[in-house]
Structure 1
């Protein structure tokens, strides 16, 4: 059988990203002038690893009206984007691609390939993948760093099937969530955390103001159970992008 090549698909010229995580990968991969808007969160240095770069792009707030007026030929949204916004843009004839969050290193690779294909920037995606894999290899731990616990507001923790769990494992730590059969993100009673006696406690960055959900992180028991507590900047952890390499390095 002789395969007949179909017509090549033209690269989109006016791309809008309305998701913090796709914003960052699109900024890295897009050709000059191809990406015309990113979400407002992309400029927030607490959440975005590319806050400085995002200042070069007009922002959007994920509203259908403002995105339609940008005249995009492709909109990239996250899985948890506003359903009415996505539906309205599609009714108006605008192509919208919805991507799931990347919750593992393999998912990060898939996200890079997917966005590279959407932008018709496969070579740039391949280069970024190669740098990501090389960075992971360079950060491979030489040995076991001990047991660690992830602990967030409202007493939540993350297990092995989460991005945070993958970062912890890549840094050489054993996640105490495994001891309790926790694979995803769920609440972990403070008593169980204390009984686990982790060597290291890793919490999320604090936000301005007073929050009852964060009050548990001030409990005096947390100061006694782990001699080394690291408060990790959320921006390197929150999205499945190659910037997770910085989170791994910070733990090491």
Structure 2
């Protein structure tokens, strides 16, 4: 007998995944945004970490997984979401067990965020929801009041003296806030170490940190205690952007643009 799809129930609905497991922080959050109620069964343990996850409060609604093939197999998913850098052995084993796995690359720009949202919408059978989220993203970006920051430079300084250059989400965030990333000016791409001496010599108009006020003692944070860093922070002015806004790309990443633009406005109002 020939099956004819009812217009109200497109053929795609028949193959829509009903028990989805995500094992990556970024796919966790994007799936929580896109999936319909009851469609997403489990997210990774990182989704509940408020330092890393914007959606930590919502993560409590789902079962937790630790990215182990055995535990995920026992959840009997019809779809597993993973990152391109998720443990390869786990992904390979799940696929050998006949489980569909879709991998998502990290978002390194707002265009990447839009593309990932659309793909997540297609994978979950929720294209309309994805388009709504893209419209929300664009609306939030348009609503950010970006002042005249022409020529203003900013330096990103993370734990262990790392910075982010071209091809990173935070670099695109800085561009949207009207700022020039000194790491990009130096020709840095991706994440690279920025020697403290070079940071001081570059004398940025604004210093951008992430989770600078880490609660527990950590050797990685020692650079923030160095007298030269403290002096530069006092001179340039510093704005701390919680890393959870830029570890993964989503509509909430616009908050990083807003905070940076706000910091640049404050810096401009109080020149060196």
After TM superposition, the structure 1 stretch with the greater mean CA deviation from structure 2, 169-178 or 28-37, is 169-178
Q: 1:212: which partner in 2?
A: 219
Alignment length, in residue pairs? 248
Q: 1:25 aligns with which of 30, 36, 44?
A: 30
Q: Which residue is 1:195 aligned to?
A: 201
Matches within 5 A, 1:153-172: 153-172=159-178
Maintained 8 Å contact 1:140/1:170: no
Partner of 1:243, secondary structure, is helix
Q: Quote the Cα distance in structure 2 between the aligned partners of 1:101 and 1:178.
A: 19
Residue 7 of structure 1: how far off its partner (Å): 5.1
Q: How much has 1:184 moved relative to structure 2? A: 2.1
Deviations 1:109-144 (A, max 9, x none): 111011110000000001101111111122252311
Provide the residue aligned with 1:128 in structure 2.
Answer: 133
**Whole-Å separation in 2 of the counterparts to 1:24 and 1:196:** 36
* 1:35 equivalent in structure 2: 40
For 1:1-252, list aligned pairs within 5 A: 8=12, 10-139=15-144, 141-144=146-149, 146-206=152-212, 207-225=214-232, 226-251=235-260, 252=262
Q: How far apart are the structure 1 equivalents of 2:210 and 2:226?
A: 15
CA RMSD across the alignment = 1.7
Measure, in 1, the Cα distance between the counterparts of 2:51 and 2:162. 20
Cα deviation for residue 160 of structure 1 reads 2.8
Q: Is 20-29 or 170-179 further displaced after alignment?
A: 170-179
- CA-to-partner distance for each residue in 1:58-107, whole Å, 9 max, x for gaps? 11000011111111000000111111111111111100011111111111
Offset of residue 21 of structure 1 = 0.6
TM-score of the two chains, using structure 1 as the length reference: 0.93
For structure 2, the 5+ residue unaligned runs are 263-272
Residue pair 2:164, 2:190 contacting (<8 A) in 1 also: yes
Matches of 1:236 and 1:158, distance apart in 2: 15
Q: 4+ runs of 1 displaced by more than 4 Å? A: none
Under a length normalisation based on structure 2, what TM-score does the superposition of the two structures give?
0.87
Give 5+ residue unaligned stretches, structure 1.
Answer: none
